Homo-oligomer: A and B are copies of this chain.
């Protein structure tokens, strides 16, 4: 069992301990109908979620709330343990119970989550003791040097061939750019890399530092298509090895250097700084540090691009995602992102919200994941399949409902006048 798997299986232990009086009461009577207090607790949970049009189906077949005709969106709770866990910490325990099959969603998972997210989003402004307790219990893990390494290892060192099953051929694990919605995932990831290079106005011979390079596709694309030299940093050993081997095989190793190290250890100078999908893992407390590193590296006429998942309002990452999938992750608001730029007087040139492109990307990933679920199940187990299905579906619903945003921010040194006069060149064929 890998470290990842054992952590996921740890989900079956009591995370927000079910009180002993509940456990004592329930273990002896798993088939008994729900008590009045259990029915009340479920209604309360629904109310806190803004009463979305969903229905619970309990272990004894009872539907709650009762309607003349059953709703099409239904959540089956297999036992009262699942009920109590869900009520006591829905953010964390919905995912855990889904993972181990203690609850099932009837019908399409994405639509179910969209309905709940939309409803909860409208109800979100009410504060309550329960909400405060969940937030406190679900607070994120810190991204210290060691913490960051372990957090990144948790996810990205999972296994390259697992990600290969459902990512595109170039192994990009960030939002693609569908210049037309009909593009294939492969085309859209290529379009994304090119869009970023054009936003950065890369010139042959320039030097680029990339912070958080994944499996190295963007660095290779920049070197191959734009003739630049790239030093790309990443904490994941598996990814760096893959990226290095692939660059060597493609004859790009004299232009691209992959370095297994923390962004905090980046040094040297560059014309261009780029980071795609790393800021989510940096943690708010470290933004000024990252801004300082960019300031140290960037040439006098330098410019850069930060691509990150974001939020409209500050809000902790969904607890289950943060615990089981992406430890230490936090998507910032644009205001929070400005901590990178403002203290260093960087000039923000362009911000684009690509939220719906991430939804489309996740549609592709989820479809590919489902079509390879047998292989995933064989290699891991059914719980793992369910956990990753929920993670992909939940993220997809997050982007379609506007819980999550995807921002690309282009910035430059202040006073740099060699900037694009308009943005229309981005939408013309490349010469």
Could you tell me which A residues sit within 8 Å of B by CB distance? 118, 121, 178-179, 181, 312-314, 333-335, 338-339, 341-343, 345-353, 355-356, 400-403, 405, 407, 414-417, 419, 421-424, 426-428
List of B residues within 8 angstroms of A314 by Cβ:
342
Cα–Cα, bound, A178→B421 (Å): 9
User: Which single residue of chain B is at the shortest CB-CB distance from A400?
Assistant: B417
Seed contacts A347-B405, A356-B417, A402-B415; 11 additional CB < 8 Å A-B pairs: A121-B415, A312-B341, A312-B345, A335-B339, A347-B353, A349-B352, A356-B421, A402-B416, A402-B417, A423-B426, A427-B427
Considering the chains assembled together, what is the distance between the CA atoms of A416 and B419 in angstroms? 32
Residue pair A347, B419 in contact (C-beta under 8 Å):
no
**In the complex with contacts A179-B424, A400-B417, A424-B179, A349-B342 CB distance below 8 A:** no
Whether B400 contacts A352 by the Cβ 8 Å rule is no
List residues of chain B with CB within 8 A of the CB of A419: 356
Cβ of A345 and Cβ of B427 under 8 Å apart?
no
The answer, among B121, B349, B402, for a CB contact under 8 Å with A353, is B349
- With A338-B333, A423-B423 already in contact, the answer to whether A347 and B312 are too (CB < 8 A) is yes
* A335 neighbours in B (Cβ, 8 Å): 335, 338-339, 342
If A351-B348, A352-B350, A415-B118 touch, does A342 touch B402 (CB 8 Å cutoff)? no
Return A352 CB to nearest CB of chain B, in Å. Answer: 6
A427 and B181 alpha carbons, distance in the complex (Å) = 19
Q: Which residues of B contact A333 (CB under 8 A)?
A: 338, 342
Using A121-B414, A400-B417, A401-B415 as known contacts, say yes or no to A313 and B356 having CB atoms under 8 A apart: no
Q: Which of B343, B352, B428 contacts A423 (CB 8 A)?
A: B352
Tell me which residues across on chain B come within 8 A of A350, comparing CB atoms.
351-353
A345, B313: Cβ atoms closer than 8 Å: yes
Cβ-closest 5 pairs across A and B: A402-B415, A351-B351, A335-B338, A424-B427, A402-B414
Residue of B nearest to A338 (CB): B335
